[in-house]
Structure formats: C-alpha cells, structure tokens
Amino acid sequence: MMDSGGDGKGKKRAKKGMPAIDMTPMVDLAFLLLTFFVMTTTFSESKVMKVVYPAKPKDNKKIDQSQLINNAITFLLTKGKIYYYDGQFYKPGNSEGHAPTTLTETDIAGVRKLLAERNKFVIDKKKIYADQLYKKEIADTTYVNKMTEAQKNPKALKVLVKTDDKALTKGFIDIMDECMIADIGTYTEVDMTPEELQLLQTTANK
Amino acid sequence: MAKINKPKAAPHIDMTPMVDLGFLLVTFFMLSAKFRTDEVVVIDQPASISQEIMPTSKYMQITVNKWGKVFMSFDCQEETKKAILAELTQKAGIQLSNEAAKTFLSSTEFGAPFSALPKYLTLSADQRKAIADEETPNAIPVDSTHNELKTWVKVVYQQLNEEGKAQFEKMIKDNPNMADADRKKNAQDLKPKVIIKADRNAPYHFVRNVVNTFKDLDMDTKFSFITTIMADPRTNK
C-alpha cells in the first residue's frame, strides 16, 4: 500500500521543506548589473544657453552706432582678463574734442557688481513686478511684457562684448551669463575695431 | 560530563529582502538608463545659470574642441541622413565607397576635411577620438578663405528643414483642427535648432568663425551654447 505520507516499505523519510537553491550566483549577477547601471546612467541633461548674434549688416550698411551706444557698456575680453569702458569709443585726438577712452580692468565678481549697479533701473522694476506677480495682482504674461518693456527702456543698460584672438570661450560665456543674471535686455557680441584692439593691447601690456 | 561543543554552522541570514531590493534597483536603473553616446570629441563645458534643456531632436550641433577644431553632428531620420550624404558628396565632389557610406550613416560626429573624409570614415571610433585630440588642424576647415563648414551647414540645415516641414504637413493633415497655439508650437519644435558645443578653453575666435559662417549664409544667428548648470545667485538671496 502506497501512502502519500511517504512511509511505504516501512522506510521513514525525513519530511522535506522547500528545496534550498543556492542563490549566491544570481545575487552576484544582480549586483554586478546594478553596479554597471549605476555607473553608466547619466541623470543630468545638458542645459543650453541662448545667445543671439546680430545679423550681418546688409550691403555693408553701417549700423547706427549712436542708437546702440546709448547707455551702453562695452566689455573687451582677452585671455583671462576683462576690461570695460562706458558709452561711445573716442580715439586719441578725435575731432569731437572728447577725452580719449581708457579701459578699466575688472574681474567676474566686479562685473556682477558693476552690472547690478548700472542696470538698477531694470532690477528695481523687476522687484516691483515680481512682487505684484507674487501677490497675484498681475498675470504671468503681463509680467513678461512689463519686463520686456523695462528692458527696452532707454534707461536700461545695454551690453556689448568684444573679444580679441586670445580670449577663451569660458570668458565669453561668463560675461553672457552675468548679463543674464543682471537681467540685461540687450547684450550681444560684436567685432572689435582696430582702435579698440590697439587700446586693449597697450592697456594689457602695461 | 564534559560538554561537546558542536562546531556551529555559519548563522543563516535571510537574504531575500536584500535580493529583492537589489533587483528593484537593477530594474530601476535599467529602465531609467539613458546611455551616453560615445562621444568622439571630448568637451569640457563652460557653466551658466541657464535652465533651458538641450533639444534632443532635429538639431545640428557644431562642436569646437579645446584646439579650436570644428566637428559636425546632427539628429535626423535615416532617410534624411541618406539625402544629406548624397547631397554632401555631390557638393564636395567626393566619392565614397559603399563601406564608407555605411559608416557615414552609422556615425554621429564628423570632423575631417572633405578630401580626407573617405579615409576618416574607415577609422575606428578610438582612432577618431585620438585624432580629435591632436592639435593638428585636421577637422572641418572654417577659415575665411577655405570654409567647408558652409557646405555642411547649408546641406544639413536644408535637409533638416525639409524633414521638419514634411512632418509638420503630415501633422496638419492628420489633425486639421489643430489650435493655432499648438500649430505654432509644433512648427517651432520641428524647426532645426543650431547648437554650439564649445570647450571652455577653446579660443573664442574659432567660435566666432562658426558664427560668421552662419552670418555669411544669411541664416538665423540664434544659437544654443551647451553649458553645465551653475547655481543662480538671484535665487539664493
């Protein structure tokens, strides 16, 4: 008689539990995979910064500089150094009788302070609008419109960036970044004139 | 009577929860993994506060490495890539073997003058990487006297634009009642974007050469510079 109890033929078998499977290799493999994926995964997506360059002037027509230069600051970049001057450029012995432009050296922290000071008009406006936005007195789109309007105001600072052949990309990106931090509405990169290059070289070699 | 100490077996530890967790993590990382494509050109990116996310489709990327060497890569459909290859070889006046053409279609980044392109395509990824890291000027020429990037940009941009247009038209056909705002957004999304990936230590005038190429072609001069993110000083006041 065969019983399901397993005591046939009088032999007593020990009751078996679940068969023990050696899980070690599986676990090893699992952790190997884990390590691999942890190492190779990249979470951070690259970010991009928008930079708008002026289009090439048509038919060699000169851009009206006086419009551009109104309340502007010009940065001249060379390798690892930043110089700036205010407003229009006057070369030595100019016919208008202005004192020739001189360059002031600064560093990136100085640029931040300088731009925050000069662009106070926009930054102050931004504080007011941001406050209104926070209190829900104005809508999102109104805020954006008002900011654009403030940045286009003649009182808002404009920034021109010019680089020589030794300047590095990092220096350029840093200045563009500072313009963004200071909420400058108009900032762009333009070609350096020979007079400016000469002034930059003499100032840098001093 | 002296007690006999039975040698004890190692205490049994229940590993089940650990294994569970292990597999959970494996699953998570496997599903979330987005592999970094093997970059031919190694770039040390500059930092900025910009939060804008890099476009992942329909872009043309121009890479400027630390020596100022220029490379081209783009994202498009297989068909468009074939069209680009055909137009490029015709405009540049070069002949590619079937083998090289195949490599072109599977490659992502190109950095060789047209004259050296057939040979460049026979190189392995490691060899290309090694060449990219050399100081010698053997990538795409962008001098004002000899500018091959112009041809690249013209061909690639035009093809990407056509691909985008076709997709947009199909979209409109499938969904004629699309709202104006959506229409505008889709049109914007399908427009080719130009990305500049410049090394922080690249002399800037090489980047300016690239920008001037676009100016010469009378194209849009709005670029996206790839940057790593940096804390915005305005927010932690």
pLDDT tens column, B29-59: 888 776 666 677 888 888 888 888 888 888 8
Residue of A32, A47, A108 to mutate when probing chain B, most B C-beta within 10 A: A47
Does A60 lie at the interface with B, CB-CB under 8 angstroms?
no
Query: Hunting for tokens 């060449």 — which residue is that?
Result: B131
**B160 against B6, higher pLDDT:** B160
Q: Is A83 within 8 Å of A103 (Cβ atoms)?
A: yes
Neighboring chain A residues of B23 at a CB cutoff of 8 Å: 30
Residue of A42, A49, A59, A76 to mutate when probing chain B, most B C-beta within 10 A: A49
Cβ neighbours of residue A198 closer than 8 Å, sequence gap 6 or more: none
Residue of B204, B217, B218 to mutate when probing chain A, most A C-beta within 10 A: B204
Give the sign of the dihedral formed by CA A87, CA A89, CA A93, CA A95. Answer: negative
CA angle centred on B55, ends B58 and B67, rounded to 5°:
95
Residues found in chain A:
206
Which 3 state secondary structure label does DSSP give A166?
A: coil
- Alpha-carbon span B46 to A117, nearest angstrom: 26
Q: How high is the pLDDT of residue A12?
A: 57
Give the sign of the dihedral formed by CA A72, CA A77, CA A82, CA A83. Answer: negative
The predicted model gives B99-116 an average pLDDT of 85
Interstrand relation of B70-74 and A158-163 (parallel, antiparallel or unpaired):
unpaired
ipTM: 0.77
Query: Hunting for tokens 């970010």 — which residue is that?
Result: A47
- pTM for the predicted model, two decimal places: 0.76
Q: Which residues pair with B136 in a beta bridge?
A: none
Q: How high is the pLDDT of residue A5?
A: 45
Neighboring chain A residues of B208 at a CB cutoff of 8 Å: 163, 189
Whether residues A177 and B47 touch (CB distance < 8 A) is answered with: yes
Neighboring chain A residues of B213 at a CB cutoff of 8 Å: none
Neighboring chain A residues of B202 at a CB cutoff of 8 Å: 168-169
- Which residues does chain A have with pLDDT short of 70? 1-16, 42-45, 57-70
What DSSP element (H or E) covers B72? strand B70-74
Q: Is the pLDDT of residue B237 over 60?
A: no
Helices (H), A41-101: 65-69
Does A64 lie at the interface with B, CB-CB under 8 angstroms?
no
- By Cβ distance, the residue of A30, A169, A176 closest to B26 is A30
- By Cβ distance, the residue of A165, A169, A189 closest to B46 is A169
Neighboring chain B residues of A182 at a CB cutoff of 8 Å: none
- Alpha-carbon span B189 to B58, nearest angstrom: 8
In angstroms, the separation between the Cα of residue A87 and the nearest Cα of chain B is 24
In angstroms, the separation between the Cα of residue B96 and the nearest Cα of chain A is 34
In angstroms, the separation between the Cα of residue A84 and the nearest Cα of chain B is 18
Residue of chain A nearest B215, judged by CA positions: A56
Whether residues B233 and A181 touch (CB distance < 8 A) is answered with: yes
Region of B123 on the Ramachandran plot (φ > 0 left; ψ -120 to 50 alpha; else beta): beta
Q: How high is the pLDDT of residue A3?
A: 44
Q: How high is the pLDDT of residue A139?
A: 82
- Alpha-carbon span B123 to B40, nearest angstrom: 12
The predicted model gives B93-120 an average pLDDT of 85
Per-residue tokens: A36: 């691999």
Phi, psi dihedrals of residue B128, rounded to the nearest 5°: -65, -40
- By Cβ distance, the residue of A40, A49, A165 closest to B50 is A49
- Alpha-carbon span B232 to B113, nearest angstrom: 40
In angstroms, the separation between the Cα of residue A7 and the nearest Cα of chain B is 30
- Alpha-carbon span A160 to A75, nearest angstrom: 6
Neighboring chain B residues of A189 at a CB cutoff of 8 Å: 208, 211
Residue of chain B nearest A174, judged by CA positions: B48
Q: How high is the pLDDT of residue A38?
A: 81
Which 3 state secondary structure label does DSSP give A198?
A: helix
Chain pair A-B, CB pairs under 8 angstroms: 153
User: Can you give the C-alpha Rg of chain B in angstroms?
Assistant: 25
- Alpha-carbon span A122 to A148, nearest angstrom: 10
Q: Which CA distances in Å does A186 have to A71, A182, B45, B152, B163?
A: 11, 11, 24, 31, 33
Neighbours of B134 (CB within 10 A): 11
Q: In the sheet that A81-86 helps form, which strands lie side by side, from edge to edge?
A: A104-106, A81-86, A72-78, A158-163, A186-189
Q: Is B202 within 8 Å of A24 (Cβ atoms)?
A: no
- Alpha-carbon span A123 to B233, nearest angstrom: 14
Per-residue tokens: B108: 């992502």
In angstroms, the separation between the Cα of residue A21 and the nearest Cα of chain B is 12
What pLDDT digit, counting tens, does each position of B13-26 carry?
Answer: 787 888 888 888 88
Per-residue tokens: B121: 């395509």
- Alpha-carbon span B162 to B164, nearest angstrom: 5
Does A141 lie at the interface with B, CB-CB under 8 angstroms?
no
Whether residues B233 and A112 touch (CB distance < 8 A) is answered with: yes
Q: How high is the pLDDT of residue A35?
A: 87
Q: What is the 3-state secondary structure (H, E, C) of B192-209?
A: CEEEEEECCCCEHHHHHH
Between B180-189 and B149-174, two packed helices, what is the crossing angle to 10 degrees?
Answer: 150
